[in-house]
Structure 1
Amino acid sequence: MRILVVEDNATLAGGLAAVLKGSGYAVDVVGDGASAVAVLATERFDLVILDLNLPEMDGIDVLRTMRGRQHDAAVLILSARHSLDERVKGLDLGADDYMVKPFDVGELEARVRTLLRRRAGLKAATVSFGEVQLDLNTRSFSSHGAAIDIPARELALLETLFMRAGKVVAKQAIIESLAGFDEDLSANAIEQYVSRLRKRLAPYGLTVRTARGIGYYLEKIQNP
């Protein structure tokens, strides 16, 4: 899952990015409204965390531009503006949620998970494929109640494949979901993550198949 943080406070933006990257998300950061609009014109994101008091262009204008261009990314407004009128205005323009600064990091992470789950069209908090379950609230995998230990980058890859289990996910879509635009993540690196993930999933009856020239998909291993 890929997130864009639009925040002019560099310290806050860096802290948010660190927390979200630590949870396995691909995160990009811009510090003004005009840059946000420019990035959103060429890059795809699942969620935008948007401040309102921005230089160059106000956050409300960024949101208005996004929805006017039919950008379907979820939007979480994160602002010091706490009046009811400001909240209503943001939500009416197409924001999906609104948090007031200062905020609790745990609550922010919970809201991020909820918005991403909603964007994926998932109502239940748990998704199953074969013997493996994905808890969307904690973004953790398990099998028959036992946790499956997976490093952050491989976990993000498995989450991307799991959300579209049985369907081919293009290599470029995987790269975009795992890395920000300041990271150089090659197709070869993706192949290495896939190889490691295959070994981790084998005991649980799942594997990652290659759709040659297109991408990868998750499949149940058939018993001989």
Structure 2
Amino acid sequence: MRFLLVEDNQNLAEAVSTRLAMDGHAIDMAGSLGEAQDYLAYSSYDIVLLDLTLPDGDGRRFLGQCRAAGNDVPVIAVTAQSDVSSRVEVLDAGADDYISKPVNFAELEARCRAVLRRRGGASHNVQQFADLEFDPLRAEVKVAGEPRELRNREMRLLEIFFSGPDRIYSKVQIGDRLFSSAEEISENVIEVYVARLRKKLDGSRAQIETVRGLGYRLSERG
């Protein structure tokens, strides 16, 4: 997944970013609402982690403006306020969920998965395509019931394809979701990761198909 972390506490931002990066996620960090607005204007994200108290304004107002403008990116509010009225206000402003400070990383990751499941209309973690099973919660992949070992970024690449089976993803779209803005990437890098993932899925009826001139898609072998 690709995250936008909006947090002005540098220590907390780096701790959250480091933890998410360890699991293969890509993270862009914004220290103010102005920076967050710039990121959202030019990049797409799977989830925004939004602190509510920023140097240049209130995260709730910012969230309300985003929703009014038609931006429906999933947002998890990160708040130091634990009273019920504050949590209700955050959800009414358009947040998909919230998490209280200090942040528990296991809870944060679980809430992220839950938000994406709800957005996708799913009620469980295990996803299936052809004879391929993918469980992002346990970081497990099986081909016809046989476990396959994937590295973190290979797992995130598979997650991208599972978010839209049969949908074509260009190299630009894959790079945008797999890497942060600070990372320098090339088309060759995308090709390398796709080749690695194909090798790990060898023997499956599911395949990462090259659509010449357009990109790649997860499809079932005919």
**TM-score category, normalised to shorter length:** over 0.9
1:116-154 deviations in Å (ceiling 9; x for gaps): 222233333211112210114334312344431111111
Q: Which residue of 1 aligns with 2:72?
A: 72
Letter in 1 for 2:121: G
- Normalising by structure 1, what TM-score? 0.92
Q: Which residue of 2 aligns with 1:56?
A: 56
Q: Which residue of 2 aligns with 1:39?
A: 39
Q: What is the correspondence of 1:201-212 to structure 2 with a 5 Å cutoff?
A: 201-212=201-212
Q: Percent of pairs identical after alignment? A: 37
Question: Following the alignment from structure 1 to structure 2, what is the Cα–Cα distance between the partners of residues 180 and 104?
Answer: 23
Letter in 2 for 1:43: S
Letter in 2 for 1:62: F
Report SS of the residue matched to 1:72.
coil
> Does the 8 A contact of 2:61 with 2:93 survive in 1?
no
Question: Following the alignment from structure 1 to structure 2, what is the Cα–Cα distance between the partners of residues 204 and 46?
Answer: 27
Q: Which residue of 2 aligns with 1:115?
A: 115
Q: Which residue of 1 aligns with 2:164?
A: 164
Letter in 1 for 2:30: V
Deviates more, 1:104-113 or 1:205-214: 205-214
Question: Following the alignment from structure 2 to structure 1, what is the Cα–Cα distance between the partners of residues 9 and 20?
Answer: 17
Report SS of the residue matched to 1:202.
coil
Gaps of 5+ in 2: none
Q: Which residue of 2 aligns with 1:105?
A: 105
Letter in 1 for 2:114: T
Question: Following the alignment from structure 1 to structure 2, what is the Cα–Cα distance between the partners of residues 42 and 195?
Answer: 28
Question: Following the alignment from structure 2 to structure 1, what is the Cα–Cα distance between the partners of residues 111 and 201?
Answer: 29
User: Please, what is the CA RMSD of the aligned residues?
Assistant: 1.6
> Does the 8 A contact of 1:2 with 1:178 survive in 2?
yes
Q: What is the correspondence of 1:69-218 to structure 2 with a 5 Å cutoff?
A: 69-218=69-218
Report SS of the residue matched to 2:160.
helix
> Does the 8 A contact of 1:34 with 1:57 survive in 2?
no
Question: Following the alignment from structure 2 to structure 1, what is the Cα–Cα distance between the partners of residues 104 and 171?
Answer: 35
Deviates more, 1:6-15 or 1:135-144: 135-144
Report SS of the residue matched to 2:203.
helix
